[in-house]
Structure 1
């Protein structure tokens, strides 16, 4: 389920607005976090409206708590609907995670066990979001640091089942794949070999930081504060070779670079798409 009108994009940050308007990059889309635009007006909306006039948008939610056991917050869902109606983005996405419980919001994207009970809850929540928005959403694979002993399904099987039951698409975050696989001592390539690529509507690329855990083993953090790492670029090239062109976003949310640096990352993704596309055509 690719969107042929989108190629590569980048996270939109207000610090880059003047540079983007001066540069006027062609064939780029921009992604924003929905929660930053749930107010009625002000500078944030003026900046985003200026970007929307020239570029397609992707709206990415981070607080819906689709994986939570409790009902979705109807006020938050209504505000998301208003953002989507206002800007008519090409893509809308959320995370396979939970972030609230018993009225408390934890400001994090927390993992969930992959069980049939959890699957039923997630599917009901995805259905509710899509019914409210009257459009298909994309569900993103999370970055994880632990695995649940209670899980009875693999993550890829869980995501495949959600997509099949609800009709949603999937947002394949390749940095999350690499971070999660490394933290769990698994193979990112093997994980991707089992991933249902036919449901992918967008790809995320981002940077991560590396720490050491108590056993002095590598611990990767999905930090979004630096350039995409070489192993993630290799996963991206392999994925595009299998899947073909897919809207691809460079996520960079903190320790922001200058606009030329961020734009160079997006252009690198475009070169991967162009190279793999030429190879596919030749084959």
Structure 2
């Protein structure tokens, strides 16, 4: 890492963990009456935007919970070409989603028959477009005012190059991806400037993310933020594994309930999760791209089971 020791203040790119912050910002705007979860794309986008009948009826809540039916990304020749280039170079292949071309395929969208949640970067790129259109502010300012400032997350930003610690960040490396770059080689950082900022541009460190998770398992000491967090933690599509929250997902395993997010971007992998019942939280940040990113999840499960075991022992000894 540029010869610097990694510690709790070292910056990492978080990728899709960005979406949790964006979801909570949206929940705050809904609470203030600036948006409604029932708002539809036909009302949220400019009047001249070509929309299919199915696209018109996609709601803000469906975008935020990955239940809109939109695909992970636009499926066209430009995207395919960018992805193939990425496999050899590590270059950002989501530039189209960052541009206003994100609107181009909505005229032909057909909702799939299955109502199962389907992870969608396209959906969160649309949320980025909508936020800027409806508030006139960028996601960094909205997040700072609503979350980062009150939680004293001083080394967390969607505009990471402005942070004093950015030059000392962990450098991203190839791992499981990009497929044709040797594992351990340095790969390019990904940068966004428009719609994808709120979906994937966040940088943070372990110290700040633990402050963020503490607000989810206890109290942020800010009423509006507490309300937004509570809304995002609700389950909107129930199932045992990856039940859909707003940006987060929840697993029910081995008698434990774990709510979490994972992120992959460039040469980074990230995991943040919490177990509200046992007041446990875990952050795992890697400066390599690895699909096996569930060390934190296993830790939370094991800590919860250990807490239950200790509780049962105390109950037995009290008899």
- TM-score under structure 2 length normalisation: 0.25
Higher strand share: 1
- TM-score under structure 1 length normalisation: 0.27
Larger RCO: Structure 1 or Structure 2 (Cα < 8 Å, ≥ 6 residues apart)?
2
